[in-house]
Structures are given as structure tokens and as C-alpha cells.
């Protein structure tokens, strides 16, 4: 009996995970920049629902943890409610 070739599938899975982790890291970097550089006329970050949905649907545990860290940062910002209209 021959064994199925799993290499292409594994390669796609690794690429998928790398992209999701990298994207989550970008969102984290943006969250930190938003937190660390105060703006005079800071507008509310109105994307909590979208970020929460991303956290819930993300399959990569590493990417999910990064997105949760983003949510935690944004929820602690003074004067930011993060609600959508």
C-alpha cells in the first residue's frame, strides 16, 4: 500500500499559519503604536467587534493569542470605547 503524499498540504498549512501570525503581529504593532504615541484629537478605535470575531475564528493558537493581546491593549486606552456605530 502506498502512502499518500502530504507535503503539498503541509506546505500550504505552514504558509497559512505564517501569514496569520504575521498579520496578527502587525495588528499588535499598530495597537502598541496607537497606545504609545498620544494624539491630541484621538478618535475612538471602532473595531472591537471585528477584532473579537477574528480572535474567535482564528485557528492558529499563536495568532489568536496575539490578537487577544491587541484587544487587551485597546481596551485599556483612556477615552476609547471601541464600539462600532
On whether the CB atoms of residues 20 and 63 are closer than 8 A, the answer is: yes
CB-based contact 51:74 (threshold 8 Å) = yes
The verdict on residue 59 lying in a domain is yes
Whether 23 is in a domain gets the answer yes
| 29 found inside a domain | yes
What percent of the chain stands above pLDDT 90? 0
Q: Is 65 a domain residue?
A: yes
Q: Which residue has the higher pLDDT, 34 or 41?
A: 34
Confidence band (pLDDT; 50, 70, 90) for 16?
confident
Give yes or no for residue 85 having a pLDDT over 60. no
Count up the domains in the chain and report the number: 1
Within a domain: residue 81? no
Residue 56's domain spans which residues?
7-37+44-75
Amino acid at each position: 500500500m502506498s502512502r499518500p503524499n502530504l507535503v503539498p498540504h503541509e506546505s500550504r498549512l505552514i504558509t497559512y499559519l505564517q501569514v496569520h501570525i504575521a498579520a496578527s503581529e502587525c495588528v499588535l504593532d499598530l495597537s502598541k503604536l496607537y497606545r504609545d504615541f498620544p494624539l491630541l484629537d484621538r478618535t475612538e478605535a471602532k473595531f472591537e467587534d471585528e477584532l473579537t470575531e477574528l480572535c474567535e475564528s482564528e485557528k492558529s493558537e499563536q495568532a489568536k493569542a496575539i490578537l487577544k493581546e491587541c484587544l487587551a491593549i485597546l481596551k485599556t486606552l483612556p477615552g476609547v470605547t471601541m464600539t462600532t456605530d
